[in-house]
């Protein structure tokens, strides 16, 4: 398939394919580049499988046990908005975090998308997730992708990545008592 129409992890492809899979003789399955032949769903799926296996063998060897799993290919790198793409390796190493293996795809609650014509590296993801029961605000929970601090030397610059990656959360403190009890430090600003 030419690169331009490659699926990009977009949920519309799932809807289209779900409908087409129910129509094995649909004209959409026919490869117009093969003169004198009319392909069916099964023909194209077998060809796609064979081409995928050939690509995997070429890239990673003949033994499927050595092939990467989804998280090896589908990873997230957290790039600093200011200096993360500076082109200066040591600066990027200081500010960026990753890559980290992630699951998922674009049609899931924890949506992670990619552009298949480039790679399977995540290019869009939820930067924050929050769960709130409005009848019990003290039971609310949330997580950021990286951490609460923007300072690279802080232990809180990237301490939430693994929690975010594994769908875990921190409690959101709402009541004054919960906030006071959960405080790690206090900063008093005086005029």
Domain boundaries, the chain: 11-66, 70-121, 127-183
pLDDT at 10: 62
Q: Which residue has the tokens 């499988």?
A: 49
Kindly write down the DSSP assignment for every residue of 68-96, as one continuous string.
PPHHHHSEEEE--TTTTTSS-HHHHHHH-
SS3 content of the chain, % helix, strand, coil (to 5): 35, 15, 55
Cis amide leading into 98 (omega within 30): no
pLDDT at 1: 46
Phi, psi of 102 (to 5 degrees): -135, 155
Contacts (Cβ under 8 Å, ≥6 apart) of 86 = 92
> 90 with 84: CB under 8 angstroms?
no
Reply yes or no on whether the pLDDT at 2 is more than 60. no
Mean pLDDT of 16-27: 91
If one compares 85 and 7, the residue with the highest pLDDT of the two is: 85
- Bridge pairing between strands 75-78 and 97-101: antiparallel
Reply yes or no on whether the pLDDT at 57 is more than 90. yes
Mean pLDDT of 18-41: 92
């Amino acid at each position: 398939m030419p690169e331009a129409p490659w699926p990009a992890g977009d949920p519309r492809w799932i809807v289209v394919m779900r409908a087409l899979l129910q129509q094995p003789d649909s004209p959409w399955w026919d490869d117009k580049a093969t003169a004198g032949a009319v392909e069916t769903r099964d023909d194209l799926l077998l060809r796609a499988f064979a081409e995928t296996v050939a690509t995997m063998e070429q890239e990673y060897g003949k033994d499927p046990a050595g092939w990467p799993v989804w998280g090896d290919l589908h990873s997230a790198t957290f790039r600093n908005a200011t200096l993360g793409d500076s082109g200066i390796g040591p600066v990027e190493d200081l500010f960026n975090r990753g890559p980290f293996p992630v699951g998922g795809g674009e049609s899931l609650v924890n949506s992670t998308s990619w552009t298949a014509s480039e790679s399977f590296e995540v290019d869009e993801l939820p930067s924050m997730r929050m769960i709130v029961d409005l009848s019990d605000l003290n039971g609310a929970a949330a997580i950021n992708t990286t951490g609460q601090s923007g300072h690279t030397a802080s232990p809180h610059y990237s301490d939430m990545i693994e929690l975010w990656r594994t769908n875990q959360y921190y409690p959101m403190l709402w009541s004054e008592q919960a906030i006071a009890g959960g405080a790690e430090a206090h900063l008093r600003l005086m005029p």
